[in-house]
Amino acid sequence: MRRRTLLKLSALASLPIAVAACGSTSFFAAEAVTVPVPDLVTDPSCPIDGGVQVNELIREGENHFKNLWRLTWDGENAEAYWNPAGNKLVFQRRWEGVDCDRIFVTRGGAPAIQISDGRGTTTCSYFLPDGEHVVFGSTGAVHDDCPPKPDMSFGYTWAIYPEYDIYVKDLKNGGARPLVTGPGYDAEATVSPVGDRMVFTSTRSGDIELWTCDLNGENLHQVTDRVGYDGGAFFSHDGTKLVYRTTAFGTENVEEEHARYKQLLSENLIRPHSMEIWVVDADGENPRQVTRLGKANWAPYFFPSDERIVFCTNHHSEEGSRMNFDLFAIDVDGGNLEQITTEESFDSFPMFSPDGRYLVFSSNRGGEKEGDTNLFIAEWQ
């Protein structure tokens, strides 16, 4: 497998803890923006302050959910990820009147607060090991407003905005600084539980590949090199492996499919209708396919044991019902497929808490209006 290692990206801060140094840019919103909180009784047993118990929304067959709490009540809330202490979440959110995602962090005893400044669009936030800094992707260095939405004449697509760079944000003083920059798309950063490396998705090689780097943005290393979109990666708990989603091309007319993929990529677009879950060693060796289910399989995350993977899929949906996404689990060798959620709409973005007791995910269940996606925490059993 061809891979590349770069010794240094740019003259950035020498340590991630130093991002609040002189010259940093404030990434707090100009005025504090918080998540609306309903006048409901919260449950102090929820691991995140403000959770309301909604066990009535546990669906038949969701046997791993002992208790269920709801954290948000309107808009589109997604990609919630735990801090290392397991008592905060960082997530992205859009709501009526705001057309692209903003980054929020939960707070003890107070509503979650926006930490991005409202320029451009943002995506894929994640805590650094100290719990006091967050990385996320942003187009704010180029866009003041939301960038143009994808051209749907190509069908349903995801935009791979080349203006995305990865920033690191100091939650104490609001300072932020670019961490991974350069031509093309840099986003989807997550951090090894070991605390030494970060993985992200980038087009810097000409295709959409996984790269890793030190937590200060240096010592870049290309992990994948297959044609197609490789992204949405997470480390195993011991830091030795990565689980990710990748484009699944058919076995016939592969060259034509590659050509269509590359044409869309030239327009900074991808079609996510056909993806499978893969695992690879963190250095790029031993890539192996985990799922062979068809349709869209994505948003994977390792179980605490690193022996199983929870992920989102619509492979079981009836034809014409592609938006029925549920959580499933599977062994890393592709065996023992198990359905976890049965909500007949959308469940995705699962992540186990650091102690393995809880699973946070996004769901359409209980939404006040069509399209609402909210954050839920399940006590696992």
Q: What is the pLDDT tens value at each position of the chain, 381 positions in all? A: 444 444 333 333 333 333 333 334 444 444 588 998 888 788 999 999 999 999 999 999 999 999 999 999 999 999 999 999 999 999 999 999 999 999 999 998 889 999 999 999 999 999 999 999 999 999 999 999 999 998 888 889 999 999 999 999 999 999 999 999 998 999 999 999 999 999 999 999 999 999 999 999 999 999 999 999 999 999 999 999 999 999 999 888 999 999 999 999 999 999 999 999 999 999 999 999 999 999 999 999 999 999 999 999 999 998 766 579 999 999 999 999 999 999 999 999 999 999 999 999 999 999 988 889 999 999 999
pLDDT tens for residues 166-177?
A: 999 999 999 999
Whether 290 and 279 have beta carbons less than 8 Å apart is answered as yes
Q: What is the pTM of this model?
A: 0.91
Residue of 15, 12, 32 lying closest to 23 (CA atoms): 12
Helix (H, G, I), strand (E, B) or coil at 358: strand
Q: Which residue ranges form the domains of the chain, and what is each CATH number?
A: 5-380 (2.120.10.30)
Give Dmax over CA atoms of the chain in angstroms. Answer: 57
Among residues 85, 102, 93, the alpha carbon closest in space to that of 169 is found at: 102
Say which amino acid occupies 332. Answer: V
Question: Cα 112 to chain center, whole Å?
Answer: 18
Side chain identity at residue 36, one-letter code: P
Report the distance separating Cα 306 and Cα 196, nearest Å.
18
Instruction: Tell me the residue ranges of DSSP E strands in 5-109.
Output: 5-6, 25-26, 52-53, 65-70, 76-82, 89-94, 102-107
